[in-house]
Structure 1
């Protein structure tokens, strides 16, 4: 089972579950799906040509805030943005941008302003720096094909996988891609006694494989309440479970 989304020129998203396949078989399945996508897009274009809808002109709203502030911030920070591509880690890039925000704030926010007025203007400067950085990132990707960390669009971050990292568990693995890490831990149980009982209106039985996905706020530097699993955790856990359960051995083998 595989779901593919894309345009006439490229594939933009792939999601699915399958048994173990070779890379060539997966690529062939994506090519078949992409051919069907192009047929659907051609049909949509024919429909549009027959209806001939009138395009609505988009008029951007005037930005709310201090007039001319973005242009003033641009003069201070824009020429510094290219240097960010040579900065090593994500944390170091964050410090680099923080320094630009502080420089822009010192240049624009006068110490003679009232406290509330200075605080509001500081937030405007911060937002302007972030907006200009996004503009720079988009420009670099479209014109030079270079992302913020110096990678090309087709390049992935270094991947490293280790197993048996926790000595007192039934099994463990540590997956690292760039600065992102995921720790997996497995607990074995009895085939019948520890299986989850499913008792629903349309489904009943036992579920012998359960995957719990935990994404605490501190893992991305956030400070917020830790409560029940979020929609993100449930959705990601479902995808991870589907990717693994196809290769699980059956009851007779394990």
Structure 2
């Protein structure tokens, strides 16, 4: 599990030993927590027992450059202590990397700079229009983006009409002006695009049980971000197999999965709606899954699959998926530990020339444009008093001081509590009563001697039951089977088929030590097949139990198909479940020795019958000469 941190540190050391100028070096560590104690770079076994999986990257100033974490409902205070501990672990590594650096850094590297004259010219042409756009609370995401695009195009057209060649960085300069106006409004007028206060949430609506055929469903809408989440149950045999899950937990199968979908129409675009998931979907889905996983019960009788489909997006769709998933799980009747919610916290800052932060504003529940124009995006998921997942996207800063992170965590906790209160007004606890389509799970015990007939050749009977009823039957051990049915009606139909199979296999109960008469239905090289009862399958009477004398083939005794034989019943073999019958125990040979033309071969010596009582070997011919 140390590969990731090694890559960070090796990359940092490689750049530090070169002449490339940068603001490093940086170092990364993984922090775990077992029994309240933090562990630096835990082993795989330790990580499986840990309540925390925190990966951080730190710069020489002790500022956080990257944060990615999942936790088993760890308190905010404990999580902040883990961040402090991670910085203490990283600083010695940074000092060691610094000691490797011997080359002088380049000083003639020219960074991109904007022309001040061009900035003033664009500002004069667009300031009033952009200010009106940013202060118009009635504009939604699409209308605002369309208006900014129109201003941008007008500025480019006007400059193009007056100059023969456009400046190379004209689009970037316009974006710089837009961002500057946007950020100044936040600092100078405490103004947000939609008129909210810095710590105010967007309007939230929650709906559950949208589609009756589904096991669970919920719709969570926060402003213009809308997520539909559905729950589907399946048999345990369908559990997802994932190597990362095995490394983190030690379990080979994953009983819970969250599938995140972000189709193009969520952002008013066209394209292939469903196909191979891109990097964004994989990342957001993994974060939402980590946020929900700690509230799922450890022992589930079936697999749970959540499908989160983003219908509309204007910021923080992954955290909206966490909220929708919590609602859908409770609506489906899953006894979750407690509700969980997610929120995105933004940061807009002012920095000095040396990179230190001189002023900053923390924004709760950011819009898409606030994420793009801001410096940091904290995605925090958790319950009222604990954190389950966190991811910090740090963009336009050299690093985050720890006090700013602490303020962001406080803002996230306050927002989560407000969101959970709104969610509880829709559904506050898991459903108590089952839906008519709730899966049924039962255990069936089949005696070992009936197992072959129950399963059929190659499991044919189980495949027929699955095809006809949709019921999945999987073995638990040698005699017990788990029956998973999509609903009660399917379970009843499967039971009828199973009962019919068992009735067809119903056999008379034989008494141990009882003597029974059977008819020979087939003669084989290793014995005869006896039919004891019409409802009972033929039973093999091996050669070793036909006669007290050694018999190599039943024909040596003059036995034919249709003959009646009396046998004694000695129960069933505990391993194979086959009947143990004996005819020789009822015979009296009257002192007659073995049949001479039925001498046991070397092959028979190696493969005795289940009841074979072999006489001592006949004396050699040389011994009889006397």
After TM superposition, list the pairs within 5 Å mapping 1:16-31 onto structure 2.
16-18=70-72, 21=73, 26-31=75-80
Q: 1:141-168: per-residue Cα shift (whole Å, max 9, x none)?
A: 4555544444455444333332222333
Out of 239, 242, 246, the position equivalent to 1:195 is: 239
C-alpha separation in 2, matches of 1:122 and 1:97 = 20
Question: 1:137 maps to which residue?
Answer: 182
1:39 to partner: Cα distance: 3.6
How high is the TM-score relative to the length of structure 1? 0.68
* Distance 1:213-1:78 versus aligned 2 partners, 3 A rule: same
Counterpart check, 1:237 vs 2:282: no
Native 8 Å contact 2:191 2:197 kept in 1 = yes
Q: Which is richer in strand?
A: 2
* Distance 1:196-1:124 versus aligned 2 partners, 3 A rule: closer
1:252 to partner: Cα distance: 5.3
SS of residue in 2 equivalent to 1:187: strand
Q: 1:151-203: per-residue Cα shift (whole Å, max 9, x none)?
A: 455444333332222333221111222211221111122333x3346699988
SS of residue in 2 equivalent to 1:251: coil
Q: 1:12-39: per-residue Cα shift (whole Å, max 9, x none)?
A: 8563131xx4xxx621122212332554
SS of residue in 2 equivalent to 1:186: strand
After TM superposition, list the pairs within 5 Å mapping 1:1-254 onto structure 2.
1-3=52-54, 5=56, 13=67, 15-18=69-72, 21=73, 26-37=75-86, 39=88, 59-61=110-112, 69-88=118-137, 89-110=140-161, 121=166, 127-141=172-186, 146-151=191-196, 153-192=198-237, 194-196=238-240, 205-226=252-273, 227-249=275-297, 250-251=299-300
Native 8 Å contact 2:136 2:193 kept in 1 = no
C-alpha separation in 1, matches of 2:118 and 2:100 = 44
SS of residue in 1 equivalent to 2:256: coil
C-alpha separation in 2, matches of 1:43 and 1:147 = 41
The structure showing larger relative contact order (alpha-carbon pairs under 8 Å, at least 6 residues apart) is 1
* Distance 1:123-1:84 versus aligned 2 partners, 3 A rule: farther
1:94 to partner: Cα distance: 1.7
* Distance 1:152-1:46 versus aligned 2 partners, 3 A rule: farther
SS of residue in 2 equivalent to 1:160: strand
C-alpha separation in 2, matches of 1:47 and 1:62 = 34
Native 8 Å contact 2:255 2:300 kept in 1 = no
Q: Which is richer in helix?
A: 1
Q: 1:47-101: per-residue Cα shift (whole Å, max 9, x none)?
A: 899999988767433569xx95443222111233333332232223223313423
1:133 to partner: Cα distance: 0.6
C-alpha separation in 2, matches of 1:123 and 1:59 = 16
SS of residue in 2 equivalent to 1:182: strand
- Can you give the 5+ residue segments of structure 1 that lack an aligned partner in the other structure? none
SS of residue in 1 equivalent to 2:261: coil
1:136 to partner: Cα distance: 2.0
C-alpha separation in 2, matches of 1:13 and 1:199 = 23
C-alpha separation in 1, matches of 2:132 and 2:96 = 48
**Structure 1 stretch 237-246 or stretch 138-147: which is displaced more?**
138-147
**Structure 1 stretch 179-188 or stretch 234-243: which is displaced more?**
234-243
Count of residue correspondences? 240
1:127 to partner: Cα distance: 4.7
* Distance 1:155-1:42 versus aligned 2 partners, 3 A rule: farther
C-alpha separation in 1, matches of 2:222 and 2:106 = 43
C-alpha separation in 2, matches of 1:152 and 1:10 = 27
C-alpha separation in 1, matches of 2:268 and 2:167 = 23
